[in-house]
């Protein structure tokens, strides 16, 4: 049985408080809007996640809260400190621990770990135009869905996935795209 893995990067965070620890940075206004837009998209996309596992960093927690509110859903979340600024290898190890018969998991976290996880799981064989988009950039609040060709989470290994869906906030609302500086 194939597994579905959703990856949701936290939305844009606020850098204005220079005294705040990285872990404690909240979302900024654009991030709150992006989280809501993506929450509605994730709900409309139709995958029912059996488990949501997330970094407990403030920006990740607020992303989930605002996305769930915009989607009109209550989302039980498992907070896992290992996700905070985790490497791809750490995220893969965490996924291998997921108990069966769980089929669909949404992982909410940070870059570069999430992006690197896509690079490790999805083969770089030219067959995935979505992977090519991730190589360009995996911006804040991006949502990706991978189909894993494994029977058990414990069997997760490099090259076992297909990237079947990728949505960036700017794809849904151009105002959430890159800020261009007018010379």
pLDDT for position 178: 73
φ, ψ at 109 (rounded to 5°): -160, -140
pLDDT for position 183: 33
**Domain count across the chain:** 1
Question: Within a domain: residue 53?
Answer: yes
φ, ψ at 102 (rounded to 5°): -55, 130
d(CA 77, CA 64): 9
d(CA 79, CA 76): 10
Range of the domain at 149: 3-174
Question: Within a domain: residue 183?
Answer: no
The pairing of beta strand 161-167 with beta strand 143-148: antiparallel
pLDDT digits (tens, 9 = 90+) for 92-110: 999 999 999 999 999 999 9
Question: Within a domain: residue 18?
Answer: yes
pLDDT for position 2: 82
- CATH number for the domain that contains residue 41: 3.40.50.1240
Strand stretches in the chain, DSSP E: 3-9, 51-54, 78-79, 104-109, 143-148, 161-167
Please choose, from the candidates 98, 168, 105, the residue with its C-alpha nearest in 3D space to the C-alpha of residue 140. Answer: 168
Question: Within a domain: residue 143?
Answer: yes
pLDDT digits (tens, 9 = 90+) for 111-136: 999 999 999 999 999 888 999 999 99
Tell me the average pLDDT across 16-31.
87
d(CA 182, CA 134): 26
DSSP letter at 151? S
pLDDT for position 1: 58
């Amino acid at each position: 049985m194939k597994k579905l893995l959703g990856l949701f990067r936290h939305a844009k965070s606020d850098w204005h408080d220079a005294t705040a620890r990285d872990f404690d940075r909240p979302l900024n206004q654009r991030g709150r809007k992006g989280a809501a837009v993506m929450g509605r998209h994730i709900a409309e996309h139709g995958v029912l996640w059996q488990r949501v596992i997330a970094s407990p960093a403030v920006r990740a927690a607020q992303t989930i809260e605002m996305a769930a509110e915009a989607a009109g859903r209550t989302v039980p979340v498992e907070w896992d400190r290992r996700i905070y600024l985790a490497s791809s290898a750490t995220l893969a190890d965490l996924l291998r621990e997921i108990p069966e018969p769980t089929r669909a998991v949404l992982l909410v976290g940070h870059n570069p770990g999430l992006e690197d996880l896509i690079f490790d799981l999805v083969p770089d064989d030219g067959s995935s135009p979505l992977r090519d988009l991730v190589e360009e950039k995996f911006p804040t609040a991006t949502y990706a869905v991978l189909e894993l060709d494994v029977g058990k989470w414990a069997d997760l290994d490099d090259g076992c996935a297909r990237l079947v869906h990728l949505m960036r906030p700017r794809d849904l609302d151009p105002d959430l795209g890159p800020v261009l500086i007018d010379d």
